Each structure stands twice: as structure tokens, then as C-alpha cells.
A and B are shown apart, each in its own frame.
Chain A
Amino acid sequence: MVTTIDEPRIRPEWLLGGAVTLLGAIIIVVVTLVLGSGEEEPVVAPADATDLTVGTCAEGLRQPHWVPDDVRRAVAECPADISAGIGRTTAEDHLGTWITYPLDGEVNAETFRGGPGPGWPADDVRAGAYHPASAILYVAYPDSTELSDELSGDTVTVEWQKLAESGGDARVTRVDNNGYGPVRVEWTDDVGSYLLLATVGRTPTGSAGPTVAELVRIADSVAAEDE
């Protein structure tokens, strides 16, 4: 009597199913890795804003120790850069140092698509949908003791605010266009004179840029931790 014992077999459909599953898993892993590599590491605002200018020509300059959370980076422009850009001014020792703090966030991003013209829908333009990127400008004029000439105009308001850290006063100049418009904070101390400039911008969803209180706080932080 012959007994036939079927040997265990791997059925072809199992092989096919396994291969498909394995291929799918590989694809998922690869796609995840590729997409993950494109994401930037979350940038955390530094504890001290002066860290933003380390390694630049503004390192060591008297500058803000605090900036709003929306600020992630700073771009320094020093007298030599400015003098070279102008091409005419030779008094490099009288030029200020400029630090630009761009603000992150969708509302602060530039929205221009092509140049201004018929391609910009009128309703969107009127709503403030086409606007530049928001940034805070800080200018330090070492060895200076004066402020710029005071602005005037029907929409200009000028007031002096106390800076708690330095004990000095800052001149806050607003072109107050219904709560929006440029804001200048200017002050002097025993080292130089300074300016902060930003625009409280009107957008379709609200406002862009820093608040006036934030600008004053930035100004006040310049004198902090100096000792």
C-alpha cells in the first residue's frame, strides 16, 4: 500500500500577498522618510535675542535682548555694507548698524504675486490682501546723542514712554491711520541713539506686525542685562 503524504507547500497566492504587503510597507517607509526629510526642524525662539546675531558683524552691538516669539532670525547690516551699497557716503564711522527681525507666520508673509497692476483684484487690494512681509527694524547709532527730527502731520501722534530698564524715555511716533500704520520708537542713552521701526499692517483677517507695546518692550530690553 502506498500512502501519499502531501508535503507542506507554500501556496503561490500566499507568496503574492506577502510580496505585495512587503512592497507596500517599503513604500510607506520610503515616502515617510522622504517627506520627513523635507520638514524643517522646529525653530525655537532663543532665550536671549542677542543670540540671533552671534557670528554677524552686529555681535557685541548694544541690541535687544527680547523680541516677540514670531521672530526666529535676524539679519545684520553693518556700516561697511551700507556704505558699499550707497556708493557715495564716505563717512562710514557715522553710519548706523541695522538689524532686521523678520516675523514668521502666515499673516506676516509677503503676499505679492507679480507686480501691482490689473492682475490684482480691486476688492483684495482694498482689503489689504497685498502686503509686504512684516519685519522689525532696529538701528543703532553709536556715539550719537540725538534723535531724528520729529515728524508732524494730522495723523501723527508723538508721546514719550518710560523705559523701566534704562530709566530713560523713548519717543513713540505713530502715524495712526485708524489703528494701523508705521510706528517709530526712538531713544538715546550714554552709548548712542536707537530706532525701532515697524508697521502695524491691516490685512483681511486682522493685523500684521508687532504691537506698539511689543516695540516698547524690545526697546526696554536693550538696556537689560548690561551689567
Chain B
Amino acid sequence: MPSTRTWLQAGGGTVVAALLVAAVVQAMHSSAMWVSNDPVGECGATSGGAVVAAQNVLWAGTGLQPVDGSWDAQSEVATEAFQAYNGLPVTGCVDESTWVTMRALVVSVCDPEFECQGPDHRVRYWAPDGGAREAYFAENDCDWGSVVPPGVALSPVASDTVIALSRDAVTEIECGG
């Protein structure tokens, strides 16, 4: 007859295993879909790669600059304008519904079945001067990253560098193999 202690140990082990499985599933999901990254702005991270990505889209969509990976008042106003135009609740923070809206604007530059290397997705807004404002993204095996065009990036964000969507720091994306 198992003792109470044995039952508790078994239950605890089950809970730990379930948490591990959930963490792995969440990690896999995060690497595949950058829309599921944690929110940025006032409701979340205020610096890092996710902020770079959001600012990058806001550059294309609202003319926000510079893109420096640091959340500020200009970023918030740009987010509010983006949210209002896209019918979202105007909060000024890039929550999940705002991420999803941004993600829907990203278009592959390559055949959908072909894996280009480097910046292979982009957001492109038509500009009145006949040009365009663009933000590039890279989907690698390990992660999504954003690429800030020259003239828009401000240190510590370097232009033409793939910035991983990591909340921890502004880091260049690194993929093994």
C-alpha cells in the first residue's frame, strides 16, 4: 500500500513533468511564431530585440525613428496611431493583438516553400514621394529577427544587422548550422 508520502512524490513529479512539457511546447511555439513573443511597451519589455522589431514595423507604418530598441514616448504615440488605424484598442503598448496585426503585414520575399537566407520577409508601406518605408525580418531555424534599414537605426542597434527577438538584450541573431 503506497504511503501518503509516495503519493505526494508522484503527484509532485507529475506536476514538474507537465511544467517541463509546457515550457518546451511554449519555447517551440515562440521560435516559430514571433507573434507569440511577450508584449512590449508600457505593458511589457521596454528594451531589447522585441522592441526593435516593433519599432521597425512602426517605422514603416508611421515613420517612427530612430529605431534604437528603447521604448519611449515617440514609440508609444506611434503605437497608438498604428492601433487606431488598424481598429485596435488604443493603449500604446504592443500587446498580443497588436503583434498579430503587425505579423499579418509581413510578407515573404521568397517562394513560401523556399527558405531564403537572411532578411526574407518584409513590411512595406507606400510613401507619398513614390518610395516606400520598409522593415525587414529574417526567419531562421532558431528564431525570428528584424533588420533595421540604414538611416533609421540608432546605436546600440546597428543597421543591416539581424536583431533576434529576444527580450533580454539587443543581440545579433545567431543560428547554429
Contacts and interface: CB of A to CB of B under 8 A. Distances in A.
- Do these two chains interact? yes
Interface of A: 75, 82, 85-89, 91, 94-96, 98, 100, 102, 109-110, 112, 115-118, 120, 122, 125-128, 130-135, 137, 139, 141, 143-149, 151-156, 173, 175, 177-182, 184, 193, 195, 197, 199-203, 208
A176 B116 CA distance: 30
A139 B123 CA distance: 13
- For the side of the interface on B, what is the size category? 35 or more
A94 B111 contact: yes
A110 B35 CA distance: 27
A156 B90 contact: no
A117 B85 contact: no
A96 B110 contact: yes
A143 B111 contact: yes
B159 to A, nearest CB: 11
A177 to B, nearest CB: 3
B26 interface: no
A145 B132 CA distance: 28
Given A109-B128, A110-B128, A139-B107, A153 B87 contact: no
B97 A153 contact: yes
B151 interface: no
A199 B74 contact: no
A203 B85 contact: yes
B104 A173 contact: yes
Interface of B: 33, 35, 58, 61-65, 73-74, 77-78, 80-81, 84-88, 90, 96-97, 100-101, 103-105, 107-114, 116-120, 124-128, 130, 132, 134, 136, 160
B74 A116 contact: yes
Contacts of B87: 177-181, 200, 202
A201 B86 contact: yes
B85 A148 contact: no
B104 A181 contact: yes
Contacts of B73: 117-118
Contacts of B74: 115-117
Most-contacted residue by chain B among A88, A200, A203 (CB, 10 A): A88
Given A86-B119, A102-B126, A116-B78, A181 B86 contact: yes
Contact of B109 (A86, A130, A182, A208): A86
B149 to A, nearest CB: 9
Nearest 8 CB-CB pairings of A with B: A180-B87, A88-B118, A177-B87, A153-B100, A116-B78, A135-B126, A182-B104, A144-B111
Contacts of B84: 125-128, 130-131, 202
Contacts of A173: 104
Contacts of A179: 87
A106 B126 CA distance: 15
Nearest to B120: A89
Contacts of A156: 100, 104
